Amino acid sequence: MPSLPFENTSPRGGPHLEEGKPLLTDLRSQPPPARWGVEISADAVAALIRQWRGRSFPAPRFDYPGPPSGIRDEPWFDYAVLSVSVLACLWPPHNSQMWSIRHEGQRLTDAPALFGAITRWMGNCTRPDLGSFSELGRVHADRLFAGRGVLQMTPERGARLSRVATAVTERWAGAALHLVEEAGWDGPTVVELLARTIPGYEDEAAVGGHRLRFRKLAHLAASLMASRSSTPWEGMDSFPVYPDYMLPRALRHLGVLRYSPRLSRAVDSRIEIPRHSPEEVAIRWATVYAGHLLVEALRAEGVSVTGPRLDYFLWWEAVLGADASLMGEHHRTVTLDY
């Protein structure tokens, strides 16, 4: 797949630098620089607020096929941390078939297929065997993810699962429950500990004097863990929308995100956009910022909505909604960040 040429924007100094490293930029406080190729339409945001004033935004549900149905709490936390660490880049290369697996009598694709592959590898076990996952090599990764079509980065996924299982074993005494307990059952703190201690969960880019922290997989893992927790979690409503492929696709279709002509051509032509290029970072940053604008404006109108609820609504519309097939292309970046 051809790649989009991009400018080297490595910071050279200035007020945003501290000891040669850019300070963190709050993704919800400002939009990305327009020169990076993505702008937010205030008119489109206002139009959606008028349209959605009477709409309800239900809480996310993780009841799709793939994950094992009978586990909760401690074994579920291990399963979520393992699975979500590789829940990324599920789209196929150009002219290739979408990856799918056969699991429990169903043909699964996308996230259900990824979860189903992990569940299938567990066999009859009621919790993931961290030792087994720690020993994954390329041959075992090929077997774990065996199916139809093309799943990109299979060796990298196997290596990441191995590192994640090892980290949970060594840093958290063999149970992700201990991470949750140390976090005090607080969602944002769980996200922080996942990013700091579990390989693959930090998701940060430094571009053009900005250091940007996305942590899509860490937020999703925390949400998934909390969904089958007997103990209530705090702070989950503070999560932003998750900057992946489908949300910017939906927001662009709705007119909220506007791409430059150059970026539009690249996305519509399925040209790969390099990881941590200004264009790729701008798409993700603008998604979080636009989501924040929508949440705040809807709340001002008396609508009960949070970042995760808006994320779930937009994801559903982009993947399963009536207009899903009309939304055009999503951007393509080969990465295990999302």
> Can you give the three-state secondary structure of 48-61, one letter per residue?
HHHHHCCCCCCCCC
pLDDT tens column, 220-251: 999 999 999 999 999 999 999 999 999 999 99
Give the separation between CA 281 and CA 206, rounded to whole angstroms: 9
Q: Is the pLDDT of residue 1 over 80?
A: no
pLDDT of residue 12: 29
Which of 61-70, 167-176, 235-244 has the least mean pLDDT? 61-70
Give the separation between CA 76 and CA 73, rounded to whole angstroms: 5
Average pLDDT over residues 184-189: 99
pLDDT of residue 3: 53
pTM of the model: 0.93
pLDDT tens column, 24-56: 999 999 999 999 999 999 999 999 999 999 999
CA dist list (Å): 75 to 29, 68, 175, 221: 37, 10, 8, 14
Average pLDDT over residues 275-282: 99
Q: Is the pLDDT of residue 284 over 60?
A: yes
Contact 83, 67 (CB under 8 A): yes
pLDDT of residue 15: 33
Q: Is the pLDDT of residue 8 over 50?
A: no
Phi/psi at 100 (nearest 5 deg)?
-150, 160
pLDDT, the chain, mean: 94
pLDDT of residue 136: 94
Contact 82, 128 (CB under 8 A): yes
Give the separation between CA 108 and CA 145, rounded to whole angstroms: 12
Give the separation between CA 185 and CA 92, rounded to whole angstroms: 37
pLDDT of residue 138: 84
Q: Is the pLDDT of residue 10 over 50?
A: no
pLDDT of residue 16: 38
